[in-house]
Every structure is written in structure tokens, then in C-alpha cells.
Amino acid sequence: MAMCGICGLVRTAEGAAFSRELVGRMCGTIVHRGPDDEGVYADGRAGLGNRRLSIIDVKGGHQPLSNEDGTIWIAYNGEAYNFAEIRDELRNRGHVFSTRSDTETIVHAYEEWGAPAFIERFRGMFAFALWDKRTETLLLMRDRVGVKPLYYTQLPDRTLVFGSELKTILIHPDVRREVEPAALDFYLTLEYVPAPYAMFKNVFKLPAGHFLTWKDGRIEVKRYWDVEPDPDPRPPASFSAAQDELYALLKESVKLRLVSDVPLGAFLSGGIDSSAVVGLMRELGAEPLRTFSIGFTDPTYNELAHARRIAERFRTEHEELVLEPKALELTEKLVRHLDEPLGDFSIFPTYLVSEMARRRVAVALSGDGGDELFAGYEHYLAQRMARWPGVAAAARAAGAVAGRLPPSKKKKGTWNKIRRFTQAFDQDAGHRHLRWMMFLSDGMKRELYGPAFREAIGGIGALRRRDPFPAHFQAMNGFDDRTGELYLDFKTYLVDDIMVKVDRMSMAVSLEAREPLLDHKLVEFAFRLPGDWKLRGGTTKWIFKKTLERLLPRETLYRKKEGFSIPIKHWLATDLRDLMEETLSEKRIREGGWFAYAPIRRMIDAHAAGRENFSHQLWALLVFEIWRGTCL
């Protein structure tokens, strides 16, 4: 097993030749993903590169790696947690292994069962490139949930260039650095860029659960996995039986992710998801059990006391760090690691808790995914309310009142919530849910976007008609109302925001993050459960909480959800005011040519005066302008 970075290229017989040195330079951009080893394979048609962070078979897992006769080569990033049992089966079928790594098992499984059937046997997170010299075919494959990233582009001569991060692709001299307007529109609206888009023109993300085949310059992208509506949606035998099965799956998933030849620990926020992971690690005998938490001086954001209680309950070796505004000095560094803009404020605590953990361990388990599987967000409650008769009219009235009040200084004030959730009550269910995930309305875009930008994206409002959302809207209709909403977040926000944040910030410090709640067996089970078992009355994550009553204290399970965020709205008006003014100056905005300056100035002034909370919009613009200045 190895958490790594991969890169490479493959060309047609007529395509421009490349050198091993080029692949080596591509590898050099992702040393942080794999500080322990580097390998390059090149045969004139294909070049594969790998940077390795050694987790299992530390000495014997050098990559790229091949089968016995050197006809199949792989550059692999990830963990296949059940590889040992598959390796035993392959040995019984006559395959010969020279390492203890899961990487070699992937190669022989492909050799035995072919694509994509071979990958259905594995459980884990991965992104890899496999070059089959016999058929001169390249296979790129990304894990089911999209924990690990994979980018690609095809050049005019039909050469395919790929890598774990955008920076690997940009090394190629023929890749142009031009902003993709549709991706920028997505980013400013949602604070992330959904697959298959990337922030550069003609560069794409391979979507989660998909594989790409390249042969003779022709590309084909296909899906091999998705969560599907149950064709025979009979409820489980009983709620009690479902709880037992859920607990068993949770425990099995954590157990699989404890396999390591190097020290491991866990992120601990004090919320339900991370607390459950830590509790199960203790139940499974993890020793030593190290936990890591981030807090704030602002008491409305600080959850260290909750994390501390869980650490004491499960007797962990616990470490804490208090995040101060000066941490935002990291902004330019973290934007470089992101490769493309991401507006999620929590990149900072995620990076700092990863940095703290890396001093003690090489692997950390996280609780990501629980909200998308079991309905943990407040907008699921808002969706339910929106279906009640008369609610839309009442919401409009409440929203009108809330709109005349200044924003609360608290993390989540009552009027802040009302202002946020009354913005979408007049739309249909799918678009209503999407609207609650938006941070830039069509009205704001009309003021902010320059004429050329509006024309390039096909006009204001085109985002809802742009892939991948129409396909997701159609697919979510196959589930019950509640589960359909979970599906939309699972396929977009989870993979293209949360997973991007966790992958880039943990790998920036060479730390492997593992997400047991996103094991695909657990995911499939959760999506088969009735939606009313996830959201019951006003209780979010109902079956998850009831199941975990055997493990966690009621105070942890049923206290109000806070979420993992930082007091950015205060910092932008105080400690970060100078950075914001400099980065979003009239001169820089006019030079960029994407936006009108007047609405930005109005947002800055209103936010600084406390009349409005424009933290999301201003931070997204600030990150884009920093990215534009450092990555273009």
C-alpha cells in the first residue's frame, strides 16, 4: 500500500516524442505526495511516473511496477484494503508475486479478469494509470467515491497527459494555461469546480467511479459504479436489524483501514462522525491511539472541549492546536497546493490539523462522509419544511424581515439561518436543494460578471443546465425524496469540495487520510435505507445516532451540530482586511477582465461595516485572484 502521486503520458506512433526527463519533472511537482521514493517507466509510447509515501511493504513497493514479463505496467495511488485475500486467490490461479504490495495485486487482477471487472473485487481508495503493452492501451481508473484525484488532457497530436494534480499536467510544454469560463462560473457559485470540469480549458477531472481508456489516440470514458436505487425497495426486516448491520459495517470499515506498517491516528473534531471513528478504533484495539484537534479563541467556533471529552473517554494520546488569524498567512501556499480555486474556508484547519498529526503519524482516519450518507446537514430539514403547505409564503415573509437585519456575529445565528434558507423556497425540489448550496445568486452575477464572461458561459442561469447537474437531477428522482437529496450532495459537494480539501491539505504535508465512512459497501447500505430513517422529525442522522448509542455518550450524539468552520467573516473585516483590499483592488480586478469592480467595492464596504455578511463571496473572489496571480 502506498499513498502516492502519479503522472505520465501516452502518445500515438505519430505523436511527438517525449523524454524520461519530462516525466521526471512532472514527478518533481508532487514530491509532497510521496517523499519516500520516485520511479519512472518509459518505453517510447508511454511514460509513467510515481512519487511514493510508503505505508505497506515499505522496502518492496517501488513503482511503477509490472507483471512477471513486463507487458503490463502501473503507476498507482491509493489503498486496496482487501488486497491480501485477492492476492491469495490469484496465487491459487498461478500468478507469481515478488512484493507484498496491493499495487502488484492490482496488476495481476487486471491480467486475470480484465477491465473493468477486476476492480469490482477491491475495496479502497485509488487512482491509477495502467499501460498494457500487448494492446497498446492505457487505462486510467478512479475509485468509486472519488477520494483520490485524477486529471487528464489530450493534446492536438492526441497525446494524453495525466496526473494526480493539475501541476503535473502543466509541466508539459504544449498544455496551455487558459481559464475555463464554465469552471469559473461553477466555482464562484458553489465554491468548488465539479467534475468533469477543471479550471483550465481542455483539462478534465476523471469523475468518481469512472475509468478512461486510451487507444490509438481515441478516448472513451465510462462509469463502472454508482449508488443505484434499489429495484425492489423493501425495507429491512426491522429497524433493530438495520442498526446491527450498520454497526457491523462501520466496525468492518474501520478495521480495514487500520492495516498499516507505519503509525496511524485520527482527526477528532468532537462531532458524531469523528467520535464514532475514534470509538471504533479503540474497540478494535488500536494502540497507541493518537487523536488531533483544532480549536479557536472565539467560543462560538471552538469545539475543543467536546473533542477532549471523547479523547478522555477512549483514552487517546490527544493533541490540540488553537487556530489564530495569522494562519491565513498560509493562503498563497495552500492555494498552490489546491491547483485550482476552492472556496471552502476549512482548508486552513484541515491543513493545520494534518500538519500537527504528521509529526506523530503517517496515516490519519477521518469522519468525512457521515453527513451525506445519513442526512446531517440543516438544508435537509429545510427541504422537508419546504414541502409543507403554506411554508413558502411564510418563508418569504420571514426572509424579508431577516433581510433588513444585520448579520449575527455568532457562527450560526437564527436570523442568519432564516436569510440563508428562505432564498430557495419557490423552486422545485432539485433546484431548491442546489440553490441552498449556492453562494452567488443570478442577481449578483448580473452585476459582478463582465460582458465577455457572461457571453462565454452562455448567459446568467446556464449553470443549472450544464453537466453534471442535469444527469444528477434525473438520477436523484429514482430515490425517495430524502435519499435523492443525499445523492446530489454525495455526487457533487462531497467529492469535489470535501474530498479535494482533505486530499490536498493532508498530502501537502505527506499525510495519508483514510475515510472509513466512505467504504463503498457502507455507502451502498446507507443508500438502501429509507430516507425517513435518516431524518426523523427534526432529528438529523437518526439511524446513525440510534446505532451509535452503544458507543458514544448521548451528549455527543444529540447536541446541536456546529460544523467544521473558521471565523472568516470576522477576520476579513479585521486581520485580513489589508490582504482583501490589496488582492481585490480596482487595478487587479480591471487587469483580470473577468469582473466589474463596483459590486466588489460595495461588498467590501458593507462587510467591513457589519451591514452584510459577504464572507463567502469575498473569500471566493480573493482565492481566485491569488490563484490567478500564482498559477496562470
User: Residue 4 catalytic?
Assistant: yes
Peptide bond just before 389 cis, omega within 30 deg: no
In angstroms, how far is the first alpha carbon of the chain from the final one? 35
Residue of 4, 7, 27, 631 marked catalytic: 4
26: left (phi over 0), alpha (psi -120 to 50) or beta: alpha
Number of H helices, E strands in the chain: 28, 17
| Calpha distance 362→606 (Å, rounded) | 44
| Calpha distance 8→49 (Å, rounded) | 6
Which one, of 478, 499, 425, lies nearest residue 208 by Cα?
Answer: 499
Which one, of 48, 50, 47, 49, lies nearest residue 4 by Cα?
Answer: 50
| Calpha distance 531→387 (Å, rounded) | 15
Burial of 179 (0-12, 13-18, 19+ CB in 10 A): buried
Which one, of 530, 570, 170, lies nearest residue 409 by Cα?
Answer: 570
Which residue do the cell numbers 473585516 mark?
573
| Calpha distance 205→455 (Å, rounded) | 24
Q: Which residues of 412-448 are buried (b: 16+ CB within 10 A; e: fewer)?
A: bbebbebbbbbbbbebebbebbbbbbbbbeeebbeeb
Residues tagged active-site = 4
